[in-house]
C-alpha cells in the first residue's frame, strides 16, 4: 500500500472509533430562543431603547463536545429621536453560523456552552408608520455566546444564555453617508429539541 492510502485508512478507523465511543446522544438539534437586547452604543446618533428579539438555530455535534450551528435571528430596537426621524425602529435580521463547545457539569443535568460565530445581517430602518425607509444591505459581523443547557428530558433542554453581537454597516440616508456600528447584548431563554 502507498503511504497516502495507509493514512486514509488509519484516519477512517480512528474517526470510526471516536464516533462509536461517544454516547448515543442525538447529534442534531433545533433551538429557538427569545429575550431582551441591550445596545452598548448609539447607532449613528440614535440612542436605542431596550429591544427584543428571537433566534432559531440548527445544531450538529460532530464530536463529543464540539459542534456547529447555523440559523436565523431578528432583533428590534426603538429610538425616540434619531437621524431617521421621530420614533424610528431599527431591525437587524439575518443569518448566524459558527462553532459550539458544550461540556457537561459532572453527572448533573447541566452543561455549559460557548459559541463563536459569524453573522451575515442587515439593518432595516422603519418610520413611525412601520414602513421600511432604508436598508443597509447584508454584511458580515460576529457573535459570541455562552450559557447553560438544562436537560429537562432525554430530548429537550432549556437554554438560558447571553449573546454579544457586533455588526458594522454603511448606509446613505437623505444624501448623507453614515456608518452604523451595532453592538448589543442579548439575554435569551431558549428551548432545544434534539433529534
pLDDT in tens, 20-72: 444 456 899 999 999 999 999 888 888 899 999 999 999 999 998 999 999 99
- For residues 167 and 111, give the distance between their C-alpha atoms in angstroms, rounded to a whole number: 29
What does the buried/exposed string (b/e) look like for 31-40 if buried means 16 or more CB atoms within 10 Å of the residue's CB? bebebebebe
Distance CA 4, CA 158 (A): 45
Is 31 part of a structural domain of the chain?
yes
Number of structural domains found in the chain: 1
| Residue 12 belongs to a domain | no
| Winning range, highest mean pLDDT, from 23-27, 142-146, 174-178 | 142-146
C-beta of residue 113 within 8 angstroms of C-beta of residue 99: no
The pLDDT value recorded for residue 45 is: 80
Q: Is 13 part of any domain?
A: no
181: CB partners within 8 A, 6+ apart: 41, 43, 166, 167, 168
Domain that residue 37 falls in: 26-194
Q: Is residue 102 part of a domain?
A: yes
Q: Residue 165: give its domain's CATH number.
A: 2.40.160.20
Strands 85-104 and 51-63: unpaired
Could you tell me which of 111, 189, 187, 115 has the C-alpha nearest to residue 145? 115
Amino acid at each position: 500500500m502507498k503511504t497516502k492510502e495507509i493514512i486514509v485508512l488509519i484516519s477512517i478507523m480512528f474517526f470510526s472509533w471516536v464516533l462509536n465511543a461517544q454516547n448515543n446522544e442525538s447529534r442534531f438539534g433545533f433551538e429557538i430562543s427569545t429575550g431582551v437586547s441591550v445596545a452598548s452604543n448609539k447607532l449613528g446618533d440614535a440612542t436605542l431603547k431596550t429591544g427584543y428579539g428571537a433566534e432559531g438555530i440548527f445544531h450538529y455535534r460532530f464530536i463529543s463536545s464540539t459542534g456547529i450551528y447555523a440559523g436565523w435571528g431578528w432583533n428590534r430596537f426603538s429610538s425616540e429621536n434619531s437621524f431617521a426621524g421621530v420614533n424610528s425602529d431599527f431591525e437587524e435580521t439575518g443569518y448566524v453560523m459558527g462553532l459550539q463547545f458544550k461540556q457537561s457539569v459532572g453527572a448533573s443535568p447541566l452543561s455549559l456552552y460557548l459559541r463563536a460565530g459569524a453573522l451575515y445581517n442587515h439593518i432595516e430602518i422603519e418610520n413611525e408608520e412601520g414602513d421600511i425607509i432604508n436598508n443597509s444591505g447584508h454584511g458580515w459581523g460576529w457573535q459570541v455566546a455562552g450559557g447553560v443547557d438544562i436537560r429537562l428530558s432525554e430530548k429537550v433542554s432549556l437554554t438560558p444564555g447571553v449573546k454579544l453581537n457586533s455588526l458594522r454597516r454603511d448606509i446613505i440616508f437623505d444624501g448623507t453617508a453614515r456608518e452604523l456600528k451595532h453592538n448589543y447584548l442579548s439575554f435569551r431563554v431558549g428551548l432545544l429539541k434534539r433529534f
